[in-house]
A = this chain, B = another copy of it.
Amino acid sequence: MSTTHTIGLDLGGTFLKAGVVSEDGTILERIRYAVDPSSAEKVFKTVGEAVGACRDIDRCLVAVGLGIPGIMDHGTHVIMNSPNLHCLDGRALDDLMKDVCPLPYALDNDANCGAYGEFVAGAGRGTTGSFVLLTIGTGVGGGIILDGALWHGARGFAGEPGHVVIERDGRPCNCGGRGCLETRVSAGAVVAAYESRGGRAASAEEVARRAHGGEGAAVEALADVGRDLGLGLAAIINLLNPEVIAVGGGVMGAGELLLGPARVEAGVRAFRASFLSTRIVEATLQNDAGMVGAGLMARGVIQ
């Protein structure tokens, strides 16, 4: 049998990204669609169009993987909460998919798809067992791979490293809690740290550029946030001792200026032997991770 390809779909609040994905995670073709968030039916009409367009490109596509923004019950495929696509709240995705998708499909949340993509085809390539992805942007997303498969937990809600509490009496978090990792580690936190050191920048990317240019306050701001990231890494290491933790997201333009201090702090906070046996690296697939992961995950539903 010739090599089979799959369709990887990464659904967001604004765009649906679709790709034809090869067995090794290469994106062979890509298409982007605007999403009309006013109803679930409209969103899935676009999903159907994307599947059709991919099949027009490649007649031999065998399955679809779809990454969904939001919290999904992994047993029933019901969306509990989708902050960026509220029209999906409470909807059973199989009811929506069956009308628009003629191929077998796999569903997962977008952060899990990203983790799976990085594990197989990105920073985790060659890792056989355990891998955790943290994606730092507006907040901290991620996913956990154990024994080579996504870890979903009792009902699919596992893999929320952004909401590990690192500060008992910390700042209120969007999740309703307080002191979660993402209250101190995010693009906004980088800007805030820079401002607290007397700087002024429009974005975390700008802080990173200035830091790479040698500006002291920017370097220090990234180190501040990096050290807090280290607390989250230490929690993951002490609980799971994964082979690899990869860190991605918009903030990672900072690279080692963020990750270096994070590694040092994790080394102090985590058990030494455990820390030394977990590699902490940069993610490599950037914005493609979710689409690649969805496409690779689709291979799991092929006979």
Q: Is the CB of B268 within 8 A of A177?
A: yes
* A155 to B152 CA separation, bound complex (whole angstroms): 22
6 extra interchain contacts, Cβ-Cβ under 8 A, other than A153-B243, A154-B278, A155-B273? A151-B240, A154-B243, A157-B241, A158-B241, A168-B179, A239-B239
Q: Which residues of B contact A130 (CB under 8 A)?
A: 153-154
Interface residues of A in 177-233 (CB under 8 A from B): 177-180, 184, 228, 231
State A177–B184 Cα separation when bound (angstroms): 19
- A162 to chain B minimum Cβ distance, whole angstroms, is 8
Give the copy number. 2
Assess whether A239 is in contact with B159, with CB atoms less than 8 Å apart: yes
Across the interface, do A235 and B165 meet the contact criterion of CB distance under 8 Å? yes
- In the bound complex, residues from chain B placing their C-beta under 8 Å from that of A281 are none
Give the 5 A-B residue pairs with the shortest CB-CB distance, closest first: A153-B241, A157-B274, A158-B241, A155-B277, A160-B238
Interface residue? A129 (CB, 8 A): yes
Asked if A166 is at the interface (CB within 8 A of a chain B CB), the reply is yes
Q: Which residues of B contact A242 (CB under 8 A)?
A: 153-154
Residue contact A273 to B238, C-beta cutoff 8 Å: no
A42 to B299, CA, bound (A): 55
